[in-house]
Structure 1
Amino acid sequence: ELSPGIVSLTRAGDAFVRPDAGGADLFVPAKNLATAMDGDHVVTRIESRPRGRSPVARVIKVLDRARETIVGTFHGSRRFDYVVPVDRRLSKDVLVPSDAGGDATDGDVVVVRLDSYGEGRVGPVGTVVKVLGSLSDPGVDVLAVAHGFGLSSDFPPSVMAAAQEAAELGMGQVTDEWVDRTEMLVFTIDPADAKDHDDALSVTEIAEGRFEVGVHIADVSHFVPEGGELDIEALARGTSVYLVDRTIPMLPEALSAYVCSLKGGVERLAVSVFIELDPSGQVHGRRYERTRVRCSDGLSYEQVQAVLDGEGSVSPAVDQAIRTLDDLARGVRALREQRGALDLEIGEAQVVLDERGHPVDIRRRERLESHRLIEDFMVLANEVVAGDMEARDIAALYRVHEPPSRERADELRDLLGRIGHRLPKRKSLEPRDLQHLLLAVRGRHEAALVSTVVLRSLAKARYDDKNLGHFGLASSAYLHFTSPIRRYPDLVVHREVVRSLVGREPPRVWEPGELASIAQRASAREQAAAEAERASVALKKVEFMERHLGDEFEGKISGVAAFGFFVTLERYFVDGLVHVNSLRDDFYRLQEQTYALVGERGRRTYRLGDRVRVQVTRVDKEARHVDFLLVRTLANAD
């Protein structure tokens, strides 16, 4: 019985394979992996089906390799050189022939190209292609994470040359196809340190109670011709990556940070959608233009928030525009909430680094009303474009988010019931079911916990050439249009908008499977970027907690498993594990009915939401893992 699927290695060296056709994961012991590595697309043969456990399988063929390189620590010896992978799930060292070590010296972190993947007892063989430096050097730890996910900040020389040429020639090739909107009051709202300004806003009152909001998006398609070197590189990267200490752009900085970016005070090219709104957020019309805009000085979220709070000012005209946009955004948001869109209160950590890249603080990232203002109009623009492309039968890359499976919905219903919340019993959950739950706990102590539990039950949003709707936004049609500097799917959408919505050309006819292939690749690159971003933050969290070994903190239980429970610290927003073996007062088992660890003798219980005090006992930088010891329980969730 053969089954193709994707390999996911465990820390123990064994693996699970997620079948392409769906269904239960297959367990592959380390001895049955052959040369397969994490992320590889393989064919397995099922060898047994133990009762109550995953089917056991053997890899018989590798269809597609997920990685051509490995990051690790170089070690030299008299007999041979070798590289120990940083990723502990990769249990085999890579042998490096004596003439293939380059400039690497003992202890260097290197990128090694895999020339062969080994077989049986023979390990993989490789060539050192890049020396990152010593782990003690500033930034090398994050570089190692990036390369471990196949991410490189270096562009090929030919791509850099193409970017420079596009930057120099692009503005000189502007015709009257771009409408002159340089006199319009247009401004960006971004993080204070942003370089890639994708989007800008304008607002004009066009009649009593009617406004036209302009969503102006950088016209990247003019500078990145389809099929050229820049386009091929952007497709391969898929997205910009925002690591804890740096950005790895999708496009070279000559474009992403300069000529495409909607920088203040200079003329730039945009694709603009003008949306007619009333104060309730209802859309009454839209029109599309290719435009020339000149943004006023870029605004930060904090500046805009100060205007909204009445504690700051940019200029009378900008202040008024900000307040008008905020009023309209609230109407747009209210309509979206009426149809059931979800607003998850998921906290995000902000790691503060010193000049050498060492963490000095970890804060909860604040979500301001100015953030919501931008989110509301970007989501609205994406929905408007998606609806127009679908209505005109224009092939598009949709951003889809499917409803939870029946199995996931049942699990969520059970789990929420154990912490005192109910969901309606029906065949399939609706967005409004979850929205009512989230609204009921908003502002309460368990809000973050409930949001986390709901999020874990949801499918991952992804790209698809078919419109499957967006469950989380309760939207019938959604895509990504607003960030073409940093997301390849947006660039694909822009080309079709320019062709068929701004212009009047017939929609492009794609080769069979071509758009689906782009969607699949974009989803995979987005996933790799998200994992790398999380890993880089986790790395700095662990480094920060190393200084707090022995210290005690308060937190909440955020996850429970047979091997222990996870605690999220309240002060520093760091997660760690209290291992079940450290609970010496009793023998604890996972009680699945209540999703809790329960002592066999004393019946003491640890469940989601319990407030506890823990001590930091161990950190593991390579595994990006923190261990806690329970000091005492402060309050039970119920």
Structure 2
Amino acid sequence: MARKVKMPSEESVLGFLRRSRRGPLKAKEIAKGLSVAPRNFRDFRALLRGMLDAGRLYRVKGQRYAVPEKVNLVAGRVTVTQKGDGFVAPDQGAQDIFVPGLSLESAMDGDQVVVRVEGRPRGRSPVGRVIKVLDRAHETVVGTFRASRGFGVVHPRNRRLSREILVAKGDEADATEGDVVVARITTFGSGKMGPMGRVETVLGKFSDPGVDVLSVIHDHGLPGAFPDSVVEAARDAVVRRRKEGGEHRTDRRDLHVFTIDPADAKDHDDGLSVRPVGSDSWEVGIHIADVSHFVRPGDAVDLEAFKRGTSVYLVDRVIPMLPHELSTDACSLLPDADRFALSVFALLDTQGRVRDARFERTEIRSRHKLSYEMAQAVLDGEQDIDPETNEALRTLAKLAETLREKRKERGSLDFDIPEAKVLLGEAGKPVSIRQVERLKTHRLVEAFMLLANEIIAHQAGQRRLPILYRVHEPPSTDKMRDLRQFLGGLGYRVPKGKIPQNDLQGILKQVEGRPEEKLVSTVILRSMSRARYSVKNLGHYGLASDWYTHFTSPIRRYPDLWLHRVLTHTLIEGRSVPEDWAGPGLKEKAERCSVRERVAEAAERESVALKKVEYMERHLGDEFDGTVSGVTSFGIFVLLDEVFVEGLVHVNSMADDYYIFHQDKYLLVGERSHRTFRLGDRLRIRVARIDKEELFIDFVILA
């Protein structure tokens, strides 16, 4: 049997090079310093090559290796602005690096790059130049095909992809003028020479039914149908494991469990139960679908689920993480059906304190599939389900409110940003757009999902299990300064330095019901760091939580599925953690799941925005009443009363005066007339221009 070679870790290599007083070193010098045996040198060279490809090392003259920061290099992901310049977010979390458009070379939005820092202007971001692209975010581009003499051009739909794709004659497939196409990039070009590609798929004209959402799917690289092998593997797992719950499973079918979800939901991840314990305590059961029972490590379904990372909820369809055989059937907690679950039982007192908590692998049977509206009607006394369910809902609502107040006391931030619900008719045409009402029952479910996530994170963290934490770091110093200036301009005073969550929470409370509520909530939210997955527990700033993870949605989120797998293996079955479940592979899982989440969110937003614009196309020239919801240097945004749609009144259309933007007070003031536009002003407007491809809705003011 071959003896396993123990190779230095990547962290050991980086640490050795950082400590080196001789600067960059050759491979043999590094190997000698780390006591790598000569017989293992070939494997060690392969390790160094892998670190080079990942941007963790850089090779300089003389075949010598250095850590990037020692030679003024930074690896990170680039975001390109609509003006064509870029900002690179370093992997190590330092300040973003500004890259002028001409210094991006062939890098495109979302690429993983290495940047050489060439300047550090005082009070501004460091300035750099891309010297290497490590990973391409875009192998294909969705855009509009324009024919020209001798060649074609694809204009990308994504406005962050500012460079056109040249298509040589013969590579245009069946594309004609104005078609929306998917083009595969064959050459990425350089700073001076643009990228070239070939047309792979012709989606049709943008006005054709369904082409708009198809373009979103292709533009964001969302997956299509599941491969036949994955569907077959899912079916096989259901047949073999549906009747056999495995060891260490407790029968809890006697519990009165029910689910609360959107009325049109088909995948039911979670259910709730509650029962009194003594005179002043309740045991709340938070029951989550046991997806890990059906999806095993490394099988075809698991690999596909990891590749997808998350389900994507577009305006007209769901692109699921798991095949329907699992997501809407075997795993879904459907009513009057026996289902396997992982359950957290929390013993709560009247003050919302967790007196005890335990974790079980269970079999349950849901009694009811409730919608949020149906459950709310019970709480409002307008509907009866049955006495036991009615009482359980009332008890859970009281406990949820207590938990919510406890979260507020510690500084948890509650952003109540209104969302739009688009109702579609035949051929995917939007027939109505309304604001989603946030009900008490939404907060009820949220309270217990947050509780379960915190309990599990704490237990897993204490045992140092290899899980993916859901982390949210405090805002950067620059964003804190900008936020303080913005809030001060509106008359809200906050202390210097780090802004405590309680202060932000107080401001959110003050603006409730005021004209500036949406703006303040949005600006505070945008000043926050982006929540992400991490192998390290860094806490959750927005929730003011020391321990947080994602446990409650394994049907639609891969981190939850991974967590279930770890918990079952260790806490239920009592086995030790496999060696390959930790280390660099876990960090890669965290990074990929964070990226897939961001892609899904962007695609979901864009699909809704497309349908909003399409809906307003039929109202071109119509008049509406609305409220000023935003004020900028280039115009004012108006939210309509009749339909939940926002549009822009551009300053160029305000021809009666020259309007000056007062940033400190968010006012637009006429230079001669002193006519003033501020948040909350009532206006009557006319829909003046619609551009579905560019997602523009322009208004002009009538009164």
TM-score by length of 1: 0.91
Q: Is the 8 A contact 2:97 2:127 kept in 1?
A: no
Q: CA deviation at 1:106?
A: 6.0
1:241 counterpart = 2:312:
yes
- Aligned counterpart, 2:547: 477
1:336 counterpart = 2:371:
no
| SS of match in other structure, 1:298 | strand
Which deviates the most, 555-564 or 513-522?
555-564
1:28 counterpart = 2:86:
no
Aligned residues between the structures? 630
**Distance (Å, rounded) in 2 between the aligned partners of 1:428 and 1:15:** 28
- Aligned counterpart, 2:522: 452
1:428 counterpart = 2:519:
no
Q: CA deviation at 1:293?
A: 1.3
**Distance (Å, rounded) in 2 between the aligned partners of 1:218 and 1:337:** 29
- Code of the aligned partner of 2:94: G
Which one of the candidate residues 590, 594, 602 is aligned to 1:519?
590
- Aligned counterpart, 1:283: 354
- Code of the aligned partner of 1:308: L
1:313 counterpart = 2:384:
yes
**Distance (Å, rounded) in 2 between the aligned partners of 1:81 and 1:426:** 56
- Code of the aligned partner of 2:698: D
Write the mapping of 1:577-596 to structure 2, written as runs, cut at 5 A: 577-596=648-667
Which deviates the most, 372-381 or 51-60?
51-60
Write the mapping of 1:20-169 to structure 2, written as runs, cut at 5 A: 20=91, 22-29=94-101, 31-45=102-116, 57-74=128-145, 79-80=150-151, 83-96=154-167, 108-119=179-190, 123-169=194-240
Q: CA deviation at 1:492?
A: 1.3
Write the mapping of 1:595-610 to structure 2, written as runs, cut at 5 A: 595-610=666-681
Q: CA deviation at 1:336?
A: 1.6
**Distance (Å, rounded) in 2 between the aligned partners of 1:334 and 1:512:** 38
* Cα offsets for 1:389-417 (capped at 9, x unmatched): 12222232111112222322222222122
Which protein has the larger Cα radius of gyration, Structure 1 or Structure 2? 2
1:384 counterpart = 2:384:
no
* Cα offsets for 1:472-521 (capped at 9, x unmatched): 21111111100000011111111122122333223454443322221111
**Distance (Å, rounded) in 2 between the aligned partners of 1:407 and 1:25:** 14
- Code of the aligned partner of 1:26: F
- Aligned counterpart, 1:571: 642
Which deviates the most, 396-405 or 474-483?
396-405
Which deviates the most, 370-379 or 294-303?
294-303
Q: Is the 8 A contact 2:289 2:340 kept in 1?
A: yes
Which one of the candidate residues 81, 85, 88 is aligned to 1:10?
81
- Code of the aligned partner of 1:349: A
- Aligned counterpart, 2:558: 488
Q: CA deviation at 1:338?
A: 1.9
* Cα offsets for 1:251-282 (capped at 9, x unmatched): 11111111111111211111011111123211
Q: CA deviation at 1:26?
A: 1.2
* Cα offsets for 1:18-70 (capped at 9, x unmatched): 454532541422x4433222211223445677898766654332121011111
Q: Is the 8 A contact 2:631 2:678 kept in 1?
A: yes
1:301 counterpart = 2:372:
yes
**Distance (Å, rounded) in 1 between the aligned partners of 2:273 and 2:340:** 15
Q: 1:48 to 1:429 in 2, by over 3 A?
A: closer
Q: CA deviation at 1:196?
A: 0.8
**Distance (Å, rounded) in 2 between the aligned partners of 1:48 and 1:409:** 24
Q: 1:108 to 1:474 in 2, by over 3 A?
A: same
- Code of the aligned partner of 2:517: A
- Aligned counterpart, 1:535: 606
Q: 1:554 to 1:460 in 2, by over 3 A?
A: farther
| SS of match in other structure, 1:324 | helix
Q: CA deviation at 1:534?
A: 0.7
- Code of the aligned partner of 2:460: M
Q: Is the 8 A contact 2:89 2:97 kept in 1?
A: yes
Q: Is the 8 A contact 2:226 2:323 kept in 1?
A: yes
Q: Is the 8 A contact 1:4 1:43 kept in 2?
A: yes
* Cα offsets for 1:111-162 (capped at 9, x unmatched): 3332332346654343444444443443221121122111123222322222
Q: Is the 8 A contact 2:539 2:545 kept in 1?
A: yes
Q: CA deviation at 1:458?
A: 1.7
**Distance (Å, rounded) in 2 between the aligned partners of 1:417 and 1:327:** 37
Please provide the CA RMSD for this pair. 2.7
**Distance (Å, rounded) in 1 between the aligned partners of 2:692 and 2:619:** 14
**Distance (Å, rounded) in 1 between the aligned partners of 2:498 and 2:159:** 40
**Distance (Å, rounded) in 2 between the aligned partners of 1:185 and 1:16:** 53
Higher relative contact order (CA 8 A, sep 6+): 1
Q: 1:172 to 1:97 in 2, by over 3 A?
A: farther
- Aligned counterpart, 2:248: 177
| SS of match in other structure, 2:257 | coil
1:211 counterpart = 2:286:
no
* Cα offsets for 1:346-368 (capped at 9, x unmatched): 11111111122111221110111
- Code of the aligned partner of 1:484: P
**Distance (Å, rounded) in 2 between the aligned partners of 1:275 and 1:80:** 66
Q: Is the 8 A contact 1:341 1:474 kept in 2?
A: yes
Q: CA deviation at 1:2?
A: 4.6
**Distance (Å, rounded) in 2 between the aligned partners of 1:604 and 1:57:** 44
Q: Is the 8 A contact 1:470 1:476 kept in 2?
A: yes
1:222 counterpart = 2:293:
yes
- Aligned counterpart, 1:267: 338
**Distance (Å, rounded) in 1 between the aligned partners of 2:574 and 2:688:** 65
Q: 1:412 to 1:10 in 2, by over 3 A?
A: closer
* Cα offsets for 1:153-189 (capped at 9, x unmatched): 3222322222222222221442342212223221111
| SS of match in other structure, 1:297 | strand
Q: 1:45 to 1:287 in 2, by over 3 A?
A: closer
Q: 1:6 to 1:392 in 2, by over 3 A?
A: closer
Which deviates the most, 269-278 or 110-119?
110-119
**Distance (Å, rounded) in 2 between the aligned partners of 1:401 and 1:186:** 32
**Distance (Å, rounded) in 2 between the aligned partners of 1:601 and 1:57:** 44
Q: 1:172 to 1:105 in 2, by over 3 A?
A: farther
* Cα offsets for 1:304-355 (capped at 9, x unmatched): 1111111112222222222222222122222222222122221111111112
TM-score by length of 2: 0.83
Q: Is the 8 A contact 2:335 2:365 kept in 1?
A: yes
Q: CA deviation at 1:230?
A: 1.7
- Code of the aligned partner of 2:95: G
Q: Is the 8 A contact 1:496 1:508 kept in 2?
A: no
**Distance (Å, rounded) in 2 between the aligned partners of 1:426 and 1:508:** 47
**Distance (Å, rounded) in 2 between the aligned partners of 1:25 and 1:616:** 40
Gaps of 5+ in 2: 1-71
Q: Is the 8 A contact 2:88 2:96 kept in 1?
A: no
Q: Is the 8 A contact 2:140 2:183 kept in 1?
A: yes
- Code of the aligned partner of 1:329: A
Q: 1:426 to 1:503 in 2, by over 3 A?
A: farther
Q: Is the 8 A contact 2:472 2:529 kept in 1?
A: yes
- Aligned counterpart, 1:358: 429
Which one of the candidate residues 483, 488, 510 is aligned to 1:440?
510
